[in-house]
Amino acid sequence: MSLPPIVFCPTDVPLKAAPINPHWVRVGNPEARNVVLSRSADGTASTILWDCSAGEFVWHYDIDETIYFLEGSAVIGDAGTPPRRFAAGDVLFLPKGSVANWHVESYVKKVAFCRRVQPKVIGQALRAASFAKRLLTGRGAAAPAMSLGG
What's the whole-model pTM score?
0.76
For residue 101, the domain's CATH number is 2.60.120.10
Reported confidence tier of residue 150, pLDDT bands at 50, 70, 90: very low
d(CA 104, CA 91): 16
Number of structural domains in the chain: 1
- Quick check: is 127 in a domain? no
- Quick check: is 133 in a domain? no
Average pLDDT in the chain:
87
- Quick check: is 63 in a domain? yes
- Quick check: is 130 in a domain? no
- Quick check: is 42 in a domain? yes
Q: What is the mean pLDDT of residues 55-79?
A: 97
Sign of CA dihedral 83, 108, 16, 2: negative
For residue 142, is pLDDT > 70? no
Query: Reduced to 3 states, what is the DSSP secondary structure of residue 44?
Result: coil
Those residues whose C-beta lies under 8 Å from the C-beta of residue 26, and which sit 6 or more positions away, are 55, 56, 57, 58, 101
- Quick check: is 47 in a domain? yes
For residue 45, give its domain range. Answer: 16-115
User: Tens digits of per-residue pLDDT, 87-122?
Assistant: 999 999 999 999 999 999 999 999 999 999 866 676
